[in-house]
Amino acid sequence: MAQQAYVTETDGGGSGPERRGDRVRRLLNRLVAGWRGDPRIWRRGIILAAIALLLALVMLLHAQIPNVIGNLGSLTETFLPWLGVLVPVLLVLALVRKSATALIAVVLTAAVWLNVFGGLLTDKTGTGGDLTVATHNVNADNPDPSGTARDVAASGADVVALEELTASEVPVYEKALASTYKYHSVQGTVGLWSKDPLTGVKSVDIKLGWTRAMRATVTTPEGRIAVYVAHLPSVRVKLEAGFTARQRDKSADALGEAIADEQLPRKILLGDLNGTMNDRSLNAVTAQMRSTQGAAGSGFGFSWPAGFPMARIDQIMVQGIEPVSSWTLPQTGSDHLPVAARVKLDTGS
């Protein structure tokens, strides 16, 4: 009897994780037992299965969604990762409905999401690198431009790009950053601050009628690199017009052309592109440059809106340069989060 009591106590004991594992196994066993003798498990949940498969098709074939009506394709691509939020909801509904058909469809949809976005979930952050860069849309209505400038400078970035600068606040940013960055240039509403010399500074025409993009050569100890700063036009979602992005798309094409014509082989693009890497309308840029977040970040690196980031529209992109790490910085007085990256430069010029 003593031995039997001992065995009973051991089966009911164990560590917390072990007990939870036993509960999960018992729950699954009950589910399987309840489904096994029910011939309707394949007939139920057809609508749920159809919704799950439609979700999978949208993720796989998003590039085929036309932009003719309200730029629906670009709108879908901007928030594409968030479709994954529906997967656990559908999974719960499939279990409640006791539908094997829906359950299989949801598992397939989860596999598709992981295939498309799973790589962003892994930590690809490396060590080393030669240069740290940062970019921040500071917001024209920023209540604390001086504090925002100090926060960005505290990141340790060697090169900082700022967008949405107003003429009245430019002197504030210049004063706040002067002690950290010896060289800087402001062109229109964008500016570049650097610890290394700047040459070849000029505005870049992105077909707006005013200056929201610039280019400069930064001469680092490892050689020269071309740095572009850009703030593409904003996009809006309107009931009568959908995702209005025509001017943004036109400016993206002009920016892509300028970068393609650049003579220096090593290039960095910093700025608010008002679009994600999935948005086909930015192909003129994204087809020739790599995102530091995708190559060397951890997670999605969402940067907007700052209070509850839902999309990464602030980008650091490179060509001829190896990203080492990429991250977002703490919130400032802006409605965007600053983003930063560490890159490795070759020794050639």
pLDDT for the residue numbered 349: 45
pLDDT for the residue numbered 263: 97
pLDDT greater than 60 at residue 243: no
pLDDT for the residue numbered 237: 59
Domain presence at residue 59: yes
pLDDT for the residue numbered 33: 59
The 10s digit of each residue's pLDDT in 175-225 is 999 999 999 999 999 999 999 999 999 999 999 999 999 999 999 999 999
Q: Give yes or no: residues 87 and 194 share one domain.
A: no
pLDDT for the residue numbered 9: 42
pLDDT greater than 60 at residue 90: yes
Q: Give yes or no: residues 202 and 321 share one domain.
A: yes
Query: Quick one: average pLDDT of 83-88?
Result: 96
Q: Which helix (H) or strand (E) holds 119?
A: helix 100-121
Tokens standing for residue 218: 């930064």
What 165-172 contacts at long range (C-beta under 8 Å, 24+ apart), as own/partner pairs, is 165/138, 165/140, 165/189, 165/190, 165/191, 166/140, 169/140, 169/142, 169/145, 172/145, 172/146
If we measure between CA atoms, which residue out of 349, 342, 226 comes closest to residue 288? 226
Say what the pTM is.
0.84
The 10s digit of each residue's pLDDT in 66-84 is 877 767 888 889 899 999 9
Q: What percent of the chain has pLDDT over 90?
A: 75
pLDDT for the residue numbered 75: 83
Poorest-confidence range of 15-29, 49-63, 325-339?
Answer: 15-29
Q: Give yes or no: residues 231 and 106 share one domain.
A: no
Q: Give me the helix-helix angle, 86-97 and 100-121, nearest 10°.
A: 160
Q: Cβ(159)–Cβ(131) under 8 Å? A: yes
**Domains in the chain, number:** 2
Query: Quick one: average pLDDT of 103-116?
Result: 96
**Euclidean distance between the first and the last CA atom of the chain, given in angstroms as a whole number:** 83
Query: For residue 236, what are the domain limits?
Result: 131-344
**Maximum C-alpha span of the chain:** 91
The 10s digit of each residue's pLDDT in 263-321 is 999 999 999 999 999 999 999 999 999 999 999 999 999 999 999 999 999 999 999 99
Question: Which amino acid is located at 158 in the chain?
Answer: D
Query: Quick one: average pLDDT of 40-47?
Result: 87
Pick the last residue of a domain from 64, 89, 121.
121
Pick the last residue of a domain from 121, 155, 170.
121
More confident of the two residues 254 and 14: 254
pLDDT greater than 80 at residue 6: no
Give dist(CA 237, CA 328) in Å, integer: 26
Q: Give yes or no: residues 75 and 144 share one domain.
A: no
pLDDT for the residue numbered 36: 61
Q: Give yes or no: residues 311 and 195 share one domain.
A: yes
Domain CATH for 213 = 3.60.10.10
The residues, ordered by sequence, that sit 6+ positions from 86 with a Cβ below 8 Å of its Cβ are 55
Report which DSSP code applies to 345: -
Average pLDDT, the chain: 89
Give dist(CA 312, CA 13) in Å, integer: 47
pLDDT greater than 60 at residue 26: yes
pLDDT greater than 50 at residue 11: no
Query: Quick one: average pLDDT of 100-127?
Result: 94
Q: Give yes or no: residues 162 and 287 share one domain.
A: yes
